[in-house]
Amino acid sequence: VLKPNDDDDDGGEGGGDDAGDAADGTWGYRGTVVDRIEKTVGLCMGDVLGLGGRGGRCHPSLWSPGTTNHPYSSPYTFADEPKVLSHVGPGVLTMLSPGVHENDSRFLITTADAPQLDGRFVAFGRVRDGMEAVEDILANVFTKKGRPTVEVA
What is the tens place of the pLDDT at every residue in 61-81? 444 454 444 444 455 655 667
Q: Are the CB atoms for 150 and 1 separated by under 8 Å?
A: no
Q: Is a pLDDT exceeding 60 seen at residue 115?
A: yes
Mean pLDDT of 80-88: 81
Strands 92-95 and 143-144: unpaired
**Domain residue limits, the chain:** 1-153
φ, ψ for residue 115 (rounded to 5)?
A: -60, -20
- Is the overall model pTM greater than 0.85, yes or no? no
Q: Selecting from 3.40.50.1970, 3.40.640.10, 1.10.3720.10, 2.40.100.10, what CATH number does the domain 1-153 have?
A: 2.40.100.10
Model confidence pLDDT, tens digit, residues 20-30: 454 455 667 78
By C-alpha distance, which of 69, 73, 61 is closest to 27?
61
133 DSSP 8-state letter: H
